[in-house]
Amino acid sequence: MKPGSTLYADGSGRYAYVSAGFSWPAFFLGPLWAVAKRRWWWLLPMLCLDVVLSGCAELADIQGREAALLLASCVQLSYLMLRGWYGNRWLEASLLRQGYFRVA
């Protein structure tokens, strides 16, 4: 078993590992991480937030508003940190809802 991770299984013999702590893949990849983990209902909200936040930053940059650009960048960074902090917790909760149980 991977150190620092929890093993989950379901009744049909499928297994899934969930790492503890910060999720670097969720932080950097976001929607691609949701696809890799087959969490399709996370994909659309993550894509929408990425597009909206990037659009806000682009608009602030085009208009030359440094304060708005700084605010948009801070909000984007906060969103990335949120994905990293909660990515593994979201994955664990999703597996439990799908009928997986903790093995080790």
| pLDDT tens digits, 26-85 | 999 999 999 998 888 889 999 999 999 999 999 988 998 899 989 999 999 999 999 999
Q: How would DSSP label each residue in 63-96?
A: HT-HHHHHHHHHHHHHHHHHHHHHHHHHHHHHHH
Q: Where are the domains of the chain?
A: 5-102
Confidence grade of residue 94 (pLDDT, cut at 50, 70, 90): very high
In this prediction, residue 22 carries a pLDDT of 94
| pLDDT tens digits, 5-30 | 899 999 898 999 899 899 999 999 99
pTM reported for the whole predicted model: 0.81
